[in-house]
Chains A and B, each alone.
Chain A
Amino acid sequence: MEAEIVRRIAHLSRIALPESELAQVAGQLDSIFALVAQMQAVPTEGIEPMAHPLDLQQPLRADQLRSETPSREELLASAPRAEDGLFLVPKVIE
């Protein structure tokens, strides 16, 4: 796997992979994809893909608030930064 591809998928994954790790990660991904390649040998023409073990319809429910929904304070308690009941992030618009 070329460094350029690893750089691109790291960006798509929103992971700041340092340049110094690219070669090592590329090598590991190569060995993982060598394992994955074994599956390519299986004839699958006409086989319906299986997305999920249960052949069930997704249930529908009324679009209502649940009474036991956590409070705003509880939801913000683990936030790395919060203020006035809001999550804080670096300035997006100058």
Chain B
Amino acid sequence: MGIPLAHKDIFCTRGLRTTCGSKMLSNFVSPYDATVVRRLQEAGTVSLGKLNMDEFAMGSSNETSYFGPVRNPWNLGCVPGGSSGGSAAAVAARLIPAATGTDTGGSIRQPAAFCGITGLKPTYGRVSRYGMIAFASSLDQGGPMARSAADCALLMDAMAGHDPLDSTSHPQGGGRFSAALGRSLQGLRVGVPAEFFGAGLDPEVAQTVETAIQWFAAQGAEIHPVHLPHNAHAVSTYYVLAPAEASSNLSRFDGVRYTHRSAAAKDLQELYLQSRYEGFGAEVRRRILVGTYVLSAGYYDAYYRKAQQVRALIREDFRRAFAEVDVIMGPTTPTPAFALGAKSADPVSMYLADIYTIAVNLAGIPALSLPCGFSKEGLPIGLQIMGDYFADELLLGVAAAYQRDTDWHRRAPAWEEQ
């Protein structure tokens, strides 16, 4: 028998329900497997089932799921992060050694940080999106979530690679990730952006992340200040582009072919309108409305085109930084896991939980989060390591070096006693 794992319920699994955390797909059984599911199965893994998530991956707390929230195994009163909250919680609680996740604005890294596990958002195009239910196609990327960088690398060996069924799959997407783990840190150029340590960052998170960066310096890495001046605009840019792409992608859920259908509809027009109102939760509806608005006639240049221009500037920030350094380090999240319900009534406060993760998706570069300590309340804190395009192997190697000398990733929550 192979390694057991479980899939985020955004990946289509033949013969097994794929709900994407939504009432809309609560009875959907996919007629095919996602490429990620097929590749991992062919590599010998055994899937134990599907994992809860924010509805259509829209959320940072796993509270938007139609099936109810996931709880953080380190503190059952806290959220596990999102949208891959079920994946992070199941790995942290030691229910499974590894899981798949997806990351559109931080949805692998933020829950990995909140739950004290390791998660990689690969370079856009390295992991096939075929059979991964689309949220924002130019930002979505599947990736591994596990206890260690070494385990993430093993998963990437199987998951990554060119897929002719995904037209945005990179022809050179594959790699030998687990062969790249034994690297030295001597001379590694580490960039630290001042923009990631400003107002809004919890002092405990700042101190823990700075201590981790000092560990790299002690191993012979060179620490350099870098600047990402447009990071401040990443969240606002994202909330134009991601809803725009989502409003288009989610138009396929029509009440006709494989979704929830309203029982109240009398004609076809009403069937679309009612089924989509009933089938989508409030956050998904909000994002569809925002996306429809920014794409509608007369607003396109002011919102969508403008956001695409700022996106280009965000990519340019990284391009400049990676001309000088090999990796960039900072916090994954501004705070440790927050309490259930703390942000669910205020969408914008929830969006700002992703302030350090979103720019990576806009640029399309890889980044991972790994545990680097705990708050006084015993909640995990994540260190984020970002790299240039196709630096996934480097990120995993750098994280593995840290994990050979530290044991934060070996700590497990005593959730059964809570």
Interface residues of A (CB under 8 A from B): 5-6, 9-18, 25, 28-29, 31-42, 44, 47-54, 56, 58-59, 61, 68, 70-71, 74-75, 77-81, 87, 89-92
B265 touches A15 (CB 8 A): no
Complex Cα distance, B216 from A3, in Å, reads 54
- A-B Cβ contacts below 8 A, count: 165
B347 touches A28 (CB 8 A): yes
Beyond A32-B348, A44-B309, A90-B268, list 13 extra A-B contacts (CB 8 Å): A10-B289, A11-B273, A13-B276, A13-B292, A16-B276, A31-B346, A32-B290, A36-B294, A36-B303, A40-B302, A49-B308, A78-B257, A92-B267
The residue that B312 contacts in the complex, of A47, A61, A78, A80, with Cβ under 8 A, is A47
The residue that B268 contacts in the complex, of A18, A68, A71, A89, with Cβ under 8 A, is A89
Q: From DSSP, what is the main secondary structure of chain B's interface residues?
A: helix
For B233, the chain A residues whose CB sits under 8 A away are 38-39, 41-42
Pairs A-B, 6 closest by C-beta atoms: A53-B364, A49-B308, A70-B31, A80-B261, A44-B309, A74-B31
For B259, the chain A residues whose CB sits under 8 A away are 80
A51 touches B308 (CB 8 A): yes
- Interface mask (B271-298 → A, CB under 8 Å = 1, otherwise 0): 1111011001000011011101110100
Q: For residue A58, which residue of chain B has the nearest CB?
A: B167
B240 touches A39 (CB 8 A): yes
Shortest beta-carbon distance, A69 to chain B, in Å? 9
Cβ of B176 within 8 Å of any chain A Cβ, yes or no, is no
A92 touches B138 (CB 8 A): no
Interface residues of B (CB under 8 A from A): 27-29, 31-32, 124-125, 138, 164, 167-168, 170-171, 230, 232-233, 235-237, 239-240, 247, 251, 254-261, 265-268, 270-274, 276-277, 280, 285-286, 288-290, 292-294, 296, 302-303, 305-313, 315, 346-348, 351, 363-365
Q: For residue B352, which residue of chain A has the nearest CB?
A: A35
Q: A54-B124, A80-B260 are in contact. Are A35 and B235 (CB under 8 A)?
A: yes
Q: A13-B276, A16-B276, A35-B239 are in contact. Are A28 and B286 (CB under 8 A)?
A: yes
